[in-house]
Amino acid sequence: MKHYLKKLLNQENLTLQEMKDAAETSFADHISESELASFLTALRAKGETPEEIAGLAEAIRNQSTQTTHELTSVMDNCGTGGDGSHSFNISTTAAFVLAGAGIKVAKHGNRSVSSKTGSADVLEHLGISLSFSKKHVAEMIQENHIAFLYAPHVLPGMKRFMTVRKNLGIPTIFNLIGPLTNPVDLDTQLLGSYRRDMLPVLAETLHQLGRKRALVINGPDYMDEASLAGDNYISLLEEGNVTSFTLHPSDINLPVHDNDAIRGGDAKKNAAILLDVLHGKTGPYYDTVLLNAGLGIFANGAVTSIQEGIRKAEDSIQSGAALEKLQRLVEYSSKMTSEAI
């Protein structure tokens, strides 16, 4: 660890393999919390590279008992969090729309950290299990096109860093890493980040992690989701190349809504919003989900334009397909719980 720390203090970048080695070393009991804190601080001060972010993500994934290579053509649409917007659970709602559009989704998420309600909080309120096994995840993705992977359940190795992060009290690489540690091998991804300056870096990181296609987005007011309040900043990874552009609601014939119009609340309120959207209730919440689901469908490569993705997202909701994916996941959770008793 000291060798890698010295390199970082000398403003030298670590290779992907060096970062994997350093991260794997950090899981060892003999590495102190002060050493971990020094490493994370030095990395932050130098600035994280795609290779370093990818190396840490791979090391964390390798610690998971649920890492799977059997599933194909799977995507995730998880964001980093950390934007402080207190919006409703946009990506969680959009995940069911993606599944209803025929896309296989391994939805990775956690409880609330910077927002009032995390994806795990709202899904648990709706009756979805947070303890799907590797077998359950595979079955649900194959049969229902969506499963939920609760981060602490599938990535127990992350606990080692929680105290260090809390004590440091500053943003570190771990504020970027969450959506990259999904233990399911992903082919495509929609990644939201509160760090607008890191969009191309994160897109290149996804390339390092083997994504065939991806979008990395930062919305108005630095949201880690796309929103209809103004320009969205986007980096597209396609065939190994990264290109960046902005997207305004007027570009895709969607109305402008202020971010205050998509605020959420506790798990009960956000669950009600999610159900309203999947039942087709129109308004700012609905339009915001159309935007994010449309971007997800485009990121997946199922369509050739964002506009076409939005149309496909609306079909998923209006046909009842998105709601059915949620209902089946709740039913599967109930059955799983009954069998365990």
User: Could you list the residue range(s) of the whole structural domain that residue 40 is in?
Assistant: 1-63
Please indicate if the annotation marks 73 as binding a ligand.
Answer: no
CATH number at 245 reads 3.40.1030.10
Please indicate if the annotation marks 83 as binding a ligand.
Answer: yes
Instruction: Mark whether 56 and 205 lie in a shared domain.
Output: no
Q: CA 53, CA 57: separation in Å to the nearest integer?
A: 6
Give the position of tokens 């930062």: 218
Please indicate if the annotation marks 115 as binding a ligand.
Answer: yes
Instruction: Mark whether 57 and 128 lie in a shared domain.
Output: no
Please indicate if the annotation marks 87 as binding a ligand.
Answer: yes
Task: Output phi, psi for 282, to 5 deg.
Answer: -80, 160
Please indicate if the annotation marks 225 as binding a ligand.
Answer: yes
Please indicate if the annotation marks 111 as binding a ligand.
Answer: yes
Please indicate if the annotation marks 21 as binding a ligand.
Answer: no
How many CB atoms are located within 10 Å of the residue 300 CB?
27
How many CB atoms are located within 10 Å of the residue 165 CB?
18
Instruction: Mark whether 197 and 267 lie in a shared domain.
Output: yes
Instruction: Mark whether 41 and 143 lie in a shared domain.
Output: no
Instruction: Mark whether 322 and 195 lie in a shared domain.
Output: yes
Instruction: Mark whether 196 and 297 lie in a shared domain.
Output: yes
Please indicate if the annotation marks 26 as binding a ligand.
Answer: no
Contact 77, 89 (CB under 8 A): no
Please indicate if the annotation marks 3 as binding a ligand.
Answer: no
For residue 336, tell me if it sits in a domain.
no
Instruction: Identify the three-state secondary structure at position 319.
Output: coil
Q: CA 83, CA 124: separation in Å to the nearest integer?
A: 23
How large is the C-alpha radius of gyration of the chain?
19
The pLDDT, as a whole number, for residue 96 is 98
Q: CA 35, CA 285: separation in Å to the nearest integer?
A: 44
Along the chain (341 residues), what's the average pLDDT of each consecutive run of 10 residues?
93 97 86 91 96 95 84 94 88 98 95 75 95 92 95 79 83 91 95 96 97 98 96 97 98 97 95 98 98 98 98 98 98 81 50
> E strands along 59-205, which residues?
74-76, 104-109, 146-150, 188-192
Domain tally, the chain: 2
Please indicate if the annotation marks 235 as binding a ligand.
Answer: no
Please indicate if the annotation marks 157 as binding a ligand.
Answer: no
Please indicate if the annotation marks 305 as binding a ligand.
Answer: no
The pLDDT, as a whole number, for residue 141 is 96
Please indicate if the annotation marks 51 as binding a ligand.
Answer: no
For residue 334, tell me if it sits in a domain.
no
Contact 299, 190 (CB under 8 A): yes
The pLDDT, as a whole number, for residue 326 is 98
For residue 341, tell me if it sits in a domain.
no
- 12, 28, 63 - which closes a domain: 63
User: What tokens were used for 281?
Assistant: 């209730």
Please indicate if the annotation marks 61 as binding a ligand.
Answer: no
User: What tokens were used for 78?
Assistant: 């998880």
For residue 68, tell me if it sits in a domain.
no
The pLDDT, as a whole number, for residue 113 is 63
Please indicate if the annotation marks 297 as binding a ligand.
Answer: no
- 63, 87, 115 - which closes a domain: 63
Contact 103, 145 (CB under 8 A): yes
Please indicate if the annotation marks 181 as binding a ligand.
Answer: no
Instruction: Mark whether 53 and 79 lie in a shared domain.
Output: no
For residue 194, tell me if it sits in a domain.
yes
Least Cα distance to 286 among 128, 90, 102 occurs for 90
CATH number at 18 reads 1.20.970.10
For residue 339, tell me if it sits in a domain.
no
**DSSP H or E run through 217:** strand 213-218
Please indicate if the annotation marks 207 as binding a ligand.
Answer: no
Please indicate if the annotation marks 79 as binding a ligand.
Answer: yes
- 63, 88, 111 - which closes a domain: 63
Contact 214, 78 (CB under 8 A): no
Contact 227, 291 (CB under 8 A): yes
pTM over 0.75: yes
For residue 54, tell me if it sits in a domain.
yes
Instruction: Mark whether 198 and 109 lie in a shared domain.
Output: yes
